[in-house]
């Protein structure tokens, strides 16, 4: 007669690396003492143990064995198993009972943020790294806050996916709403919160990291004292020079900056073109012609074209037909740059036409650029440049600037940074107003973004490009590069092949070009 075997638990739950145990009872229905051997069948047999593996059972009696499972770190899910009981005296006499082992996932995120304390007059910067020591991929959403609400924050990116055994990075920038003019360093606590996406049957999972932004006063006490002494010394020097004879006056061979350019005019030219003319500045060696992001006369510039003196005209081409575009002019020489001219605006031509220059006797001939200066006017797909320029396919972000930082915008820092990156990397990046872009606006509100697109066939390729280039160190310390995720982690559409009439980017494998990328200034 066959034995009867019964599992105490037919469904067990365990996490990888942990042990779960149950028992089984065997019933000897014969009239003689019998010995039985037990074994586990199925995928779980490799990490199962029966204690003891053999038992003796008196006639019409029962005995119990223990079954232990210890699954290794690896795949998770439901694993079926069976326990077989075989009579040693009669091998044909056997019994089987079946069960299921539910191997759950391990969620273990280890955050590291450097530095813990960041110092600055206006801004603080941190790099947060999240190591996934669990067994499944983790989708993390990162936020930052301060209890006093005295800081603004920019996170790039807001959401990352970290595979098991890998580390993801998020870059955090905090900016004070008001400066500290005098006094001591002011510590401002910052809390970085990361939340893991959970399933319907899981409880919320989040963690925090405490940071500090130490805001340094704009003028320390020592600087204020030195400034007062300098004012006293300057006043004394003025008095001494006023009493000195004309022959005692100091001569200076320093070159003076050029005067502010005047007479800048803009006329509609051919299709997608505007003709610009201005009055010559006597001491100018070069003219820097800026195209503004939008029609705001006080707005920031996103493209620069140098013109070698004595030329005083240039035709700006490649604009969208009928686009209302504004320009600003700066003169430069060895002594530095002049004040910017008055802003002029005009509509680009809608059909081919012959430009008629005004305000200068010099013909409107496109100048030969200075070989020491690189022009940064890219060909723009779809006739969109600056604020309306959408990233083409997958892309990487190289830098960001606050639009409401008037000092940065007036100093043309976003455009100068774009020019530096283009020259260092040999690529043509895009400077765009994130709020005017559907894809950029959700990730970088209130910012001007420098990005590189048109070179990546997948998000993985863009991410691998960043991993490779961050180690090269071409653009200084703390290189930054990241490939943003779309909202909700959706995949973006495949990138089209670049052509001369498209975005003007060079073809070829992106990994063949070296770069390191810096977020912000």
**pLDDT at res. 480:** 67
Of residues 398, 379, 381, the one with CA closest to residue 390:
381
**pLDDT at res. 438:** 83
Residue 363: φ, ψ to 5°: -60, 150
**pLDDT at res. 384:** 35
Of residues 27, 34, 152, the one with CA closest to residue 95:
27
CA 299 and chain centroid, separation: 25
* All domains of the chain in start order, with CATH: 4-103 (2.60.40.10), 109-215 (2.60.40.10), 256-372 (2.60.40.10), 378-521 (no CATH)
Residue with tokens 């301060």: 146
DSSP three-state, residue 45: helix
DSSP at 239: H
**Mean pLDDT for back-to-back runs of 10 residues, the chain (521 residues):** 90 90 92 92 92 92 94 84 92 92 87 93 93 87 91 92 92 89 85 86 82 85 69 78 51 76 91 91 92 73 85 88 90 91 90 44 40 36 47 85 78 78 79 84 84 86 82 70 66 36 32 32 30
Of residues 126, 284, 152, 289, the one with CA closest to residue 209:
126
- Is the Cβ–Cβ distance between 327 and 314 less than 8 Å? no
**pTM score, whole prediction:** 0.37
Q: Which two tokens stand for residue 21?
A: 């145990």
**pLDDT at res. 510:** 33
| Other Cβ atoms within 10 Å of 208 Cβ, number | 13
Contacts of 393 (CB under 8 A, 6+ apart): 453, 454, 456, 457, 492, 493, 494, 495, 496
Q: Edge-to-edge strands of the sheet including 11-14?
A: 11-14, 94-103, 77-87, 34-41, 54-57
**pLDDT at res. 161:** 94
Strands (E), 123-177: 123-132, 138-145, 151-156, 159-162, 167-176
Q: What is the DSSP string of 381-446?
A: GGG--GGG----SSEEEEEEEETT-HHHHHTTHHHHHHHHHHHHHT---EEEEGGG-HHHHTTSTT
Geometric angle at alpha carbon 184, from 178 and 190, rounded to 5°: 55
Contacts of 49 (CB under 8 A, 6+ apart): 67, 68, 70
Geometric angle at alpha carbon 448, from 490 and 144, rounded to 5°: 65
**pLDDT at res. 478:** 66
| Separation of alpha carbons 290 and 294, rounded Å | 12
């Amino acid at each position: 007669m066959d034995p009867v075997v019964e599992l105490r638990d037919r469904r067990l739950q365990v996490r990888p690396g942990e042990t779960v145990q149950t028992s089984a009872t065997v019933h000897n229905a014969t009239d003689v003492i019998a010995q039985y051997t037990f074994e586990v069948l199925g995928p779980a047999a490799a990490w199962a143990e029966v204690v003891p593996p053999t038992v003796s059972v008196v006639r019409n009696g029962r005995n119990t064995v223990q079954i232990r499972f210890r699954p290794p770190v690896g795949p998770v899910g439901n694993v079926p198993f069976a326990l077989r009981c075989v009579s040693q005296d009669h091998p044909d006499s056997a019994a089987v009972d079946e069960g299921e082992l539910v191997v759950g996932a391990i969620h273990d995120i280890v955050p590291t943020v450097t530095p813990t304390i960041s110092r600055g007059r206006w801004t603080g910067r941190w790099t947060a790294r999240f190591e996934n020591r669990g067994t499944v991929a983790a989708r993390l959403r990162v936020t930052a806050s301060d209890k006093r609400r005295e800081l603004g924050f920019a996170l790039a990116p807001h959401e990352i996916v970290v595979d098991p055994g890998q580390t993801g990075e998020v870059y955090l920038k905090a900016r004070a709403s008001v400066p500290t003019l005098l006094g001591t360093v002011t510590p401002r606590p910052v809390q970085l919160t990361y939340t893991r996406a959970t399933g319907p049957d899981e409880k919320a999972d989040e963690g925090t990291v405490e940071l500090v932004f130490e805001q340094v006063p704009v003028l320390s006490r020592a600087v204020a004292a030195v400034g007062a002494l300098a004012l006293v010394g300057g006043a004394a020097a003025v008095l001494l020079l006023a009493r000195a004879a004309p022959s005692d006056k100091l001569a200076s061979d320093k070159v003076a900056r050029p005067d502010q350019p005047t007479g800048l005019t803009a006329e509609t030219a051919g299709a997608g073109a505007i003709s610009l003319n201005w009055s010559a500045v006597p001491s100018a060696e070069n003219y820097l012609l800026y195209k503004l992001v939008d029609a705001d006369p006080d707005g920031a510039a996103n493209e620069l074209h140098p013109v070698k003196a004595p030329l005083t005209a240039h035709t700006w081409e490649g604009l969208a037909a009928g686009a209302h575009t504004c320009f600003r002019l700066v003169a430069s020489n060895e002594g530095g740059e002049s004040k910017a001219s008055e802003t002029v605006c005009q509509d680009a031509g809608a059909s081919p036409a012959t430009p008629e220059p005004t305000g200068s006797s010099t013909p409107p001939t496109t100048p030969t650029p200075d070989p020491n200066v690189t022009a940064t006017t890219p060909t723009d797909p779809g006739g969109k440049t600056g604020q309306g320029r959408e990233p083409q396919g997958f892309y990487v972000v190289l830098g960001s600037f606050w639009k409401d930082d008037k000092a940065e915008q007036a100093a043309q820092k976003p455009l100068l940074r774009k020019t530096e990156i283009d020259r260092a990397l040999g690529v043509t990046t895009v400077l765009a107003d994130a709020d005017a872009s559907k894809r950029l606006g959700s990730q970088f509100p209130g910012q001007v973004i420098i990005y590189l697109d048109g070179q990546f066939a997948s998000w993985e390729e863009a991410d691998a490009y960043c991993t490779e280039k961050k180690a090269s160190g071409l653009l200084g310390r703390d290189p930054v590069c990241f490939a943003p995720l779309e909202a909700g982690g959706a995949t973006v559409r495949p990138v089209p092949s670049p052509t001369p009439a498209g975005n003007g980017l060079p073809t070829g494998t992106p990994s063949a070009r070296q770069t390191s990328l810096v977020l912000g200034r």
